[in-house]
A = this chain, B = another copy of it.
């Protein structure tokens, strides 16, 4: 059977399974999740053996140490995966919630019922622990999931998926409820992206080029998690000590993630008081600094930023700094160069805070807090399947609710339209 036919066969089976998963009770889903967590721990030897194959192949292919580290599974990481699945047990089940039921003038009652999306296509790179996270979140929200992981992790993923599928099957779910695409053939992804009658949503997670490829080639709606070119703006009425702590934390605490800050904007009235000490603090921990001419004149040792710098997600210990004339100029800069992920203002000024919150068009907008808080766990969603940088359906960290939709329900007593 060709890749395309085999992909369609598996996806069709997953779609059929989705109708069963949608009807599982919360107790059944939680019981399946507990079996999944137990299965991961019980089969840790098999998972580590499969992972060893991926590690060996990865070393032969010359993968970087960072990638190999993300790929590696040991007992501790497998236990963490199991605990991650158990955390999902504790989250409230979103399926079946009925909201807004209202009697209308015609006599019908109209409201909305929250229901699963159906079949989620989840396409991701690298880390095998994402496999169990995604499977758990999709199951709890009543969806079947078709997982397509990175080629580096194929052996690990197939073993993890087998363990998870067996656990769900023991709860009576049909095969296909958790489906892993068994091939690393790129054609399998291309074929998946065209099955718009079977897959209800595609969630891609990976690098910018990969996301672009998925968006350009999918005929299925995509919820994309694009780059995070996040900004911290120090307003002229900022508490400068607070500004230093937030700008430092936003860049340095974990520079390799999407909610880390990449650009610091500083109001001209406080630039001379703020920047020299800030730059010194960054420099002490090895942050590479580029900036506008005004920044360079205030803090020696800052290299000149190029136009490209303002658009760059460094994901590293590097930051671009710009002095701006006004709040308006700060917002204009963010609008022009940002990626609409997360931006923060530091200010004690009521009006500036309000303007920034209302006008900055990003998935998360903050006053006096580090951009690093842009996260499903920190926001109280319990767990997140990604952070949406788009506007439709989901914006910002996505939890269980974002894996569902609401349909209208109408309760009548025989009404017809006149």
Contacts and interface: CB of A to CB of B under 8 A. Distances in A.
A99 B134 CA distance: 28
Interface in A263-318: none
A370 interface: yes
Interface stretch (A70-78, A104-112, A146-154, A170-178): A104-112
Interface stretch (A47-55, A158-166, A404-412): A404-412
Contacts of A364: 407-410
Interface in A376-418: 378-380, 390-393, 395-397, 405-417
Across the A-B interface, the 5 shortest Cβ-Cβ residue pairs: A369-B412, A249-B416, A366-B410, A392-B393, A393-B393
A391 to B, nearest CB: 5
18 contacts: A104-B380, A117-B391, A221-B221, A248-B416, A249-B416, A362-B407, A364-B407, A364-B408, A365-B408, A367-B410, A368-B413, A368-B414, A370-B415, A392-B405, A393-B393, A395-B406, A396-B407, A397-B408
Interface stretch (A5-13, A84-92, A353-361): A353-361
A300 to B, nearest CB: 27
A215 interface: yes
A372 B415 CA distance: 10
A337 interface: no
A118 interface: yes
A246 interface: yes
A341 to B, nearest CB: 11
Given A115-B358, A366-B410, 7 more contacts: A108-B366, A118-B391, A369-B414, A369-B416, A370-B412, A370-B416, A373-B410
Contacts of A413: 368
Dominant secondary structure of chain A at its interface with chain B: mixed
Contacts of A333: none
A359 B408 contact: no
A96 B359 CA distance: 11
A347 to B, nearest CB: 11
A245 B104 contact: no
Contacts of A397: 408
A358 B23 CA distance: 8
Contacts of A367: 410-412
A31 interface: no
Given A106-B378, A249-B417, A395 B408 contact: yes
Given A378-B104, A410-B365, A113 B245 contact: no
Nearest to A410: B366
B221 A219 contact: no
A42 interface: no
A230 interface: no
Nearest to A364: B408
